[in-house]
Amino acid sequence: MLFDFLVPQRIIFGPGCAGRLGAEARVFGKKLLLCMGKGSLQASGMIERVIGPLEAAGLEIVYCGGIPPEPTLESVEESLKIAHEYEVDLVIGVGGGSVLDVAKATAGLYYGDGSVKEYFEGKELKQPGLPWLAVPTTAGSGAEVTKNAVLSDPVSGKKQSIRWDSWLARVAVVDPVLTMTMPRHVTAHSGMDALTHALEAYTSRWAHPMTDGIAFEAVVLICRNLYSAYSKGSEKEARQQVSLGSLMAGIALNNARVGAVHALAHPVGIRYNLSHGLVCAVLLPHIMEFNLTAVAEKYARVAKELHLAEQDTCSADAAERLVHFVRMLQKRLQIPAKLGEVGLQEEDIPGLAEAALPSGSLAANPRKAVYTDLVKILETNL
């Protein structure tokens, strides 16, 4: 066994912990770039829980708002321009995975001497960037604890990550209260993305006992609490447990990678302009079905922990109960059962399968998936 294990320097978790943001940020300088999304945080008033402590600590805030979902290379170019213009000392990302990824890439590329596109295409990064702090407001992406930023290039049609070990947040401040005003569909899609991270990391070819422990607990937390967080959004306990599950799933994926769901999610998402969480949410049970024989023991262990199967049930049967549970969860969260319901076209299938083949996530999938397997999986989605 050989592994290295990466986590942010500090993770702060718990209701109200955003109040510590000022003291945490002040350590890294006086002037910060605050990356935010398109305004839901402002509309709900939640942003005050972030800005208040920063202002109280005497920090100067430079705003970079309006970061779109599924960000492009241009999104990072724009925020880098603001960061350079104001010569900020640090970056804080407050939002969902897209915002956190832009904040991460902006901090990471601050001292870079090439364009974002050059780094996207593999240019080597010579030095670390600015420190950055992550404040997630959704429970799903795990971006607060990962070293990669997922970006899209509309010109080439590619969606992929730039990743560097030095890109981990200095501090991840995970306050479940910030997730309380998430719209229901975002709770559902981001929660299923987190469940996908946990299950794919748990069954990854690169999994090891440290990631297994974290991923297993994450799967259980999310399975037990996601529907309550969705159906009763103000249910604090459920929100807290899903936030914790998402955080743990992020740590697991950062150290064990993800699998075939994520390999397919990128080309499908970019082709039909669908959110990453939605595509993962639809695909998850299809890929679990495909992987069933390779990971029956691990699925069975989860099923037994969730009391979906008796302790003496054989692994194959117990594993199938977990797949059934995920299908039912998908239905209760009002997520389509097939990609055909959100735009998948038969004539696109060969190209989408082809585009997924080089993915590192596919290499981590526990059952080897070749071109014809991916085509078959997509055909069952029509």
- Min. distance of Cβ 141 from Fe ion in angstroms? 6
Decide whether 189 or 239 has the Cβ nearer to Fe ion: 189
- Min. distance of Cβ 349 from Fe ion in angstroms? 22
Tokens of 334: 């009002």
Output the residue with the shortest Cβ distance to Fe ion.
193
CA distances from 269 to 22, 133, 145, 305 (A): 36, 27, 23, 33
Decide whether 67 or 201 has the Cβ nearer to Fe ion: 201
Strand partners, 78: none
- Min. distance of Cβ 47 from Fe ion in angstroms? 25
Query: CA nearest 126: which of 134, 143, 114?
Result: 114
- Min. distance of Cβ 196 from Fe ion in angstroms? 6
| Binding site residues, Fe ion, CB under 5 A | 193
Structural contact between residues 195 and 222, judged by C-beta atoms closer than 8 angstroms? yes
- Min. distance of Cβ 15 from Fe ion in angstroms? 25
- Min. distance of Cβ 280 from Fe ion in angstroms? 5
Decide whether 115 or 161 has the Cβ nearer to Fe ion: 161
Query: CA nearest 252: which of 222, 217, 284?
Result: 217
Decide whether 88 or 105 has the Cβ nearer to Fe ion: 105
Query: 124-137 burial string, b = 16+ CB within 10 Å, else e?
Result: ebeeebbbbbbbbb
Rounded Cα gap, residues 350 and 372, in angstroms? 9
1: CB partners within 8 A, 6+ apart: 208
Decide whether 171 or 265 has the Cβ nearer to Fe ion: 265
Decide whether 261 or 322 has the Cβ nearer to Fe ion: 261
